[in-house]
Amino acid sequence: MLIFEDNAPSHRPARRTVRHGAYALIENDGRIAVDVLRTQTRKIVDLPGGGLEWVRTDKDKLVLGKDGRPILETEEQALIREVAEEIGLIVRPGARLAEAVQCYRSSDGRTDVLGYAALWTAEQVGEVPKTEPDHELDWLEPELAIRCLRHESHRLFVMKWLSWQQRNFGELVVHPGRIPRRHRATP
């Protein structure tokens, strides 16, 4: 397991939380899908995916297990749901490649998060209308994604995937290049 600390804050916000998430590495013609979140002040690039949620009935009631505790969705279920909501792709999860623990500040800057993340390969099998309008799908060369991704764990997930690809499918050449203006980190 990889452990990181990103965006170490100079002061601690009042809120802290733990988040379990699953993220997809979706490849198409040598490029990988990224989720671009636009805020009022900056652009954030992440791998598509997100946090696991509690399973609910169609009437928004929590589903309880045999022990009487709420049931959390699986990583695969979260991956399918989050990718569809954020970037409008229907995916089929493949192999679970890596996991990481990372501390980071939430996108709104109000919460410190201890994130447990799993990286899955996924295959695109369709498209649906996305439900989160501030998220956009983009396809980047892996080496460009490594430089643009917000979280160190996501960058290392891509490197791990490149290594896995090389081991399983032969030589893979990564070309460093100039970062296009639309993908440069903004403060």
Domain ranges of the chain: 2-183
pLDDT digits (tens, 9 = 90+) for 34-64: 999 988 888 999 999 999 998 888 888 888 8
Strands 111-127, 15-28: parallel, antiparallel or unpaired by DSSP? parallel
Domain 2-183 -> CATH class: alpha beta
21: left (phi over 0), alpha (psi -120 to 50) or beta: beta
Reported pTM: 0.78
Cα–Cα distance, 77 to 50 (Å, whole number): 11
Q: What's the confidence (pLDDT) of residue 172?
A: 45
Residue 69 has pLDDT above 80, yes or no: yes
pLDDT digits (tens, 9 = 90+) for 124-183: 999 999 999 999 999 999 999 999 999 888 999 999 889 887 777 665 444 333 334 444
> In sequence order, what are the residues at sequence separation of 6 or more whose Cβ sits closer than 8 angstroms to the Cβ of residue 80?
90, 91, 93
